[in-house]
Amino acid sequence: MKYKTLKGLQDILPPEIAAWHHIENKARDIFRNYGYQEIRLPILEATDVFIRSIGETSDIVEKEMYTFQDKGGRSVTLRPEGTASFVRAYVEHHLYNDPSPQKFYYLGPMFRYERPQAFRYRQFYQIGAEAMGIDDPKLDAEIIAMLSKLLHSIGLAGLNFEVTSIGCKKCRPDYRTALKSFLGGKLDTFCGDCQRRYDANPLRILDCKVPSCIESRKGSPPVLDYLCGECRDHFESLRGYLDVLNVPHTVNPNLVRGLDYYTKTAFEVSSENLGSQSAVAAGGRYDSMVAEFGGPSTPGIGFAMGMERIIPLIQDSVSKATGPDLLFCPLGDKASEKAFVLTEQLRAMGIWGEMNHESASMRSQMRKANRIGAKNVIVLGEDEIGKGEITIKNMTDGNSIKSSLVASDIFKIISQHK
């Protein structure tokens, strides 16, 4: 029987992993500079965690969640995103008691049963950050600036930062009324999902991907025209602070997020080089979620970036994983025993050492050394063992250096030619 990965899932194999490490290391460095601490959350949560926050009428909750009953009959869901899980943990562990802002980051897999296509997977990895407890627009600007710094330090170019405000509980009812009166007259031109959402949550109609719905909603009133004074001030201040921090951005009044929990600031970063799935990162403010989860009213803002969309953009510029610092090519049993001990001694000193285990000719051993990208090679035969002297061949410059057959001497030479 042949097994294959499930549709929309993928194995990440070693040649690609250098790019993953590159991104993760840059992220950890930059998060540290900004005071974000790592939080590790379960992949599985009670289904309600997502329904309550992402929203019953969102595509994610309606169509895309991996939900099943566990053996105890509880409905559980593989997390489709990190923010809801994070807020659940934030409230459960009373993290709001720590001095504000509390800043966290996470990395790991998310699951959405979407139609797979280029750069869209059913299991995908996000790196996300969340900052809690402060509703000052300076924090919005700071987190967007941090994201910009991170994406640029990873090596991305051609990015477009789009920002908008989607209002708050105070101004949303007015916007909802205006939107309903615009859409109401032509409701029969919308898909069944949108017709259903018209009463339950008309804002979701703005997120529908059906081409006829996109056409029919053209000219709908922009949410920015309906912001209350507080939201408008917040948005204007955010834009000013982004200028202060030198983050070029554009206002996109049509930016719609697929999650219901956002208030005020929403943003998306897209790449010119990705085609239709161009969002590499997105986020926004969610000032009501903590209270809705039973905690004290606490504002929050965050983002998440999609690893699978960033990897292809940097793959060629990140050097591929390299081979061992040293490969022993022993000729015969005695040499093999000696190489076995030396390899282990050199590893203890911090050298990545390997040895050939199969007895093969010197030529085929050298071929293998080239294939695995060994940086240095020692051919070890009866002669070398008898004399206690070996030659270390550097595979990059082709030079050879003599050494005694003692691990510490070999170490000195290899550590200069790693």
Piece of 32-40, 149-157, 225-233, 279-287 that binds ligand HAM (CB under 6 A):
279-287
Is the bond leading into 253 cis (omega within 30 degrees of zero)? no
The piece of 112-120, 233-241, 343-351, 372-380 that touches ligand HAM (CB under 6 A) is 112-120
What are the φ and ψ backbone dihedral angles of 391, each rounded to 5 degrees?
-115, 130
- Distance of closest approach, residue 111 Cβ to ligand HAM, in angstroms: 9
Task: State how far the Cα of 19 lies from the Cα of 315, in Å rounded to an integer.
Answer: 6
Binding to ligand HAM, residues 240-259 (CB under 6 A): 258
- Which of 31, 104, 106, 121 lies at the binding interface for ligand HAM (CB under 6 A)? 121
Report the distance separating Cα 344 and Cα 325, nearest Å. Answer: 13
Q: Indicate the pairing of strand 300-306 with strand 279-285.
A: antiparallel
Of 288 and 356, CB closest to ligand HAM: 288
Tokens for 216, please give them. 């029919």
Q: Shortest approach of ligand HAM to residue 114 CB, angstroms?
A: 5
Distance, in Å, from the CA atom of 365 to the CA atom of 374, rounded to the nearest integer, reads 11
Binders in 122-181 for ligand HAM, by CB under 6 A = 124, 126, 128, 130
The residue among 112 and 393 lying less far from ligand HAM, judged by its C-beta, is 112
Residue 18: CB minimum distance to ligand HAM, A = 20
User: Which one, 113 or 352, has the nearer CB to ligand HAM?
Assistant: 113
In the complex, least distance from residue 161 CB atom to ligand HAM, rounded to whole angstroms: 12
Residue 371, class by beta-carbon neighbours within 10 Å (0-12 exposed, 13-18 middle, 19+ buried)?
Answer: exposed
Q: Which of 129, 124, 90, 121 is nearest to 283 (CA)?
A: 129
Q: Does 282 bind ligand HAM (CB under 6 A)?
A: yes
Strand order in the sheet with 44-46: 44-46, 75-78, 66-69
Nearest to 51 by CA among 74, 80, 92: 80
Phi and psi based region of residue 79 (left: phi greater than 0; alpha: psi -120 to 50; beta: remaining): beta
Of positions 45, 81, 287, 325, contacts ligand HAM by CB under 6 A: 81
Q: Does the footprint of ligand HAM cover residue 24 (CB under 6 A)?
A: no
Q: Rounded to the nearest whole angstrom, what is the least distance from the CB of residue 8 to ligand HAM in the complex?
A: 8
What letter represents residue 361's amino acid? Answer: S
Site for ligand HAM in 294-313 (CB under 6 A): 302-306, 308-309
Q: Which residue is nearest to ligand HAM (CB)?
A: 306
Q: Is 281 in the site for ligand HAM (CB under 6 A)?
A: yes
Does 120 help bind ligand HAM (rule: CB under 6 A)? yes
Burial bucket for residue 146 (CB in 10 Å: 0-12, 13-18, 19+): buried
Distance separating alpha carbons of residues 369 and 395, to the nearest angstrom = 9
Query: Applying CB under 6 A, which residues contact ligand HAM?
Result: 81-83, 112, 114, 119-121, 124, 126, 128, 130, 258, 279-284, 302-306, 308-309
